[in-house]
């Protein structure tokens, strides 16, 4: 899958630098072309000759070692399909986040307009440093993918989070990113995520266990597939695309309605509360003498059903709206998954429905994996077996973008 792909690897000064030799060999065995940029400090841990032999290319170190008319930081950025920085030191992460370009590696990163994957490795106290974490969030907002380090025994003698993540994880992330099709280029994809919050009083609310991870995975995958993404979420994730923070079901409905007319796809991955309290208390409700209290609830709007109805109205009234988005709903069930999903897609009228079983602890709410059934309004059913949510997200998007 990496045949003829151009991978640019930046190596910084850290003990984990020696591990990248194995990664270079694996990329080469898969048919990729590899070029390496090493900071001067990186050569304290791995030699230039080793990197040169493994990559079968010149190793680039000095910023102004120009052998032709084109500056190397531009030519290398133009050559590569993907840039990996591993191990990434706290120093280099800080420089890139602040736009500093004082060596060849940081200059290339500054000029690089394609996907960058960063795999940090450092002492656990450095990793937990507030400034380092802020720099990582800045890079994430700009579209970089961060492969967080692992817990374990560190070279400095500490035990904690800071070890370079597994080479398999890095390899898989590169492979996945390089094989994203641009199916959604030029398309606007609106995605909702997280569990809505329905306030009772200034200190209490009702909600659900939705973490927003599936919606986030869908948003990131759509972005990688070239889409203009609008992410309507109850969870404050750092993302490189438009984010609309909401709280309640009514907030989410308003945000979705605002995006409807210009959307090509609307994916309702959020867990929306079915009910809200009838009367919100402006003051904190005090504990009373009674052993129980009664709160009266009223139904929230069915956002999915109303969006589907609005779409149908557009078909009937040509002046109502020129855009008729593909609408995708989600269905979280604890029993009779397929039966309930079939009933829901028929009732709501959406184009697709994604059903998942929340009774299982290894998939669904709060975990990194999922297993879903994709139903279409035409009656087609596709099961996506258990996999990381980012893999499931890409398969869902590939499926819904075929109509």
How is residue 20 written in tokens? 């990248």
Give the confidence band of 378 by pLDDT, cuts at 50, 70, 90: very high
Confidence of residue 11 (pLDDT cuts 50, 70, 90): very high
User: Using 50, 70 and 90 to split pLDDT, how confident is the model at 349?
Assistant: very high
Q: What is the dihedral of CA 236, 232, 239, 263, to 10 degrees?
A: 180
Residue 156 is among the residues annotated as catalytic for this protein: yes
pLDDT band at 183 (very low <50, low <70, confident <90, very high): confident
Give me the mean pLDDT over the 55-76 stretch.
77
Residue 387 is predicted with a pLDDT of 87
Residue 62 in contact with residue 107, Cβ under 8 Å?
no
Distance CA 365, CA 194 (A): 10
d(CA 342, CA 302): 17
pLDDT per residue as tens digits for the range 81-125 = 999 999 999 999 999 999 999 999 999 999 998 889 999 999 999
pLDDT confidence of residue 151: 94
pLDDT attached to residue 21: 97
pLDDT band at 382 (very low <50, low <70, confident <90, very high): very high
pLDDT value, residue 238? 87
- Residue 74 — very low, low, confident or very high, per pLDDT cuts 50/70/90? confident
pLDDT by residue (tens digit) across 202-212? 999 999 999 99
- Asked if the model's pLDDT at residue 70 lies above 80, the reply is no
Q: Is the pLDDT of residue 67 over 70?
A: no
* Averaged pLDDT of the chain: 92
**What is the CATH code of the structural domain delimited by 188-400?**
3.40.50.10300
Domain ranges (residues) in the chain: 6-178, 188-400
Tell me whether domains 6-178 and 188-400 share a fold: yes
Active-site choice (110, 156, 314, 331): 156
SS3 11: strand
Does the pLDDT of residue 316 top 90, yes or no? no
According to CATH, the topology of domain 6-178 is Rossmann fold (3.40.50)
Q: What is the rounded distance in angstroms from the CA atom of residue 290 to the CA atom of residue 204? A: 19
Q: What's the confidence (pLDDT) of residue 65?
A: 60
Element (H, E) at 386: strand 381-388
Span 125-132, mean pLDDT?
A: 96
* CA distance linking residue 282 with residue 236, whole number of Å: 25
Q: Tokens in use for 287? A: 């504990």
Taking 80 as the threshold, does the pLDDT of residue 162 lie above it?
A: yes
pLDDT band at 321; cut points 50, 70, 90? low
pLDDT (0 to 100) of residue 318? 61
pLDDT band at 132 (very low <50, low <70, confident <90, very high): very high
- Closest Cα to residue 128, out of 171, 80, 161? 161
pLDDT band for 9, please (50, 70, 90 cuts). Answer: very high
């Amino acid at each position: 899958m990496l045949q003829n792909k151009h991978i640019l690897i930046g190596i910084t000064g850290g003990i984990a630098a020696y591990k990248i030799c194995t990664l270079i060999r694996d990329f080469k065995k898969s048919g990729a072309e590899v070029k390496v940029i090493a900071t001067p400090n990186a050569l304290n841990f791995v030699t230039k000759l080793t990197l040169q032999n493994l990559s079968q290319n010149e190793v680039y170190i000095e910023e102004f070692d120009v052998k032709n008319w084109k500056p190397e930081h531009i030519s290398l950025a133009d050559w590569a399909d993907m840039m990996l920085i591993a191990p990434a030191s706290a120093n280099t992460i800080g420089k890139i986040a602040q736009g500093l370009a004082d060596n060849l590696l940081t200059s290339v990163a500054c000029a690089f307009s394609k996907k960058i994957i960063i795999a940090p490795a450092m002492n656990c106290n450095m990793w937990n440093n507030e400034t380092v974490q802020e720099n990582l969030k800045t890079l994430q907002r700009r579209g970089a993918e961060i492969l967080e380090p692992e817990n374990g025994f560190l070279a400095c003698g500490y035990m904690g989070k800071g070890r370079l993540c597994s080479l398999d994880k890095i390899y898989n992330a590169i492979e996945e990113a390089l094989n994203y099709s641009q199916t959604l280029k030029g398309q606007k994809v609106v995605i909702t995520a997280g569990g809505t919050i329905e306030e009772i009083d200034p200190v209490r609310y009702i909600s659900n266990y939705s973490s927003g991870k599936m919606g986030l995975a869908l948003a990131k995958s759509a972005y990688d597939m070239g889409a203009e993404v609008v992410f309507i979420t109850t969870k404050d994730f750092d993302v490189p695309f438009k984010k609309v923070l909401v709280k309640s079901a009514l907030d989410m409905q308003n945000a979705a309605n605002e995006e409807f007319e210009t959307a090509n796809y609307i994916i309702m991955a959020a867990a929306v509360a079915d009910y809200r309290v009838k009367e919100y208390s402006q003051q904190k409700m005090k504990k009373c003498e009674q052993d129980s209290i009664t709160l009266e609830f009223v139904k929230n709007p069915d956002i999915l059903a109303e969006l589907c109805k609005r779409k149908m109205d557009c078909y009937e009234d040509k002046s109502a709206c020129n855009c008729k988005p593909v609408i995708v709903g989600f269905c979280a069930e604890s029993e009779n998954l397929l039966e309930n999903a079939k009933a829901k897609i028929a009732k709501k009228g959406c184009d697709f429905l994604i059903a998942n079983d929340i009774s299982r602890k290894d998939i669904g709410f709060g975990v990194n994996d999922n297993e879903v059934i994709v139903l279409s309004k035409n009656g087609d059913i596709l099961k996506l077996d258990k996999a990381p949510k980012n893999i499931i997200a890409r398969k869902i998007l590939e499926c819904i973008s075929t109509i």
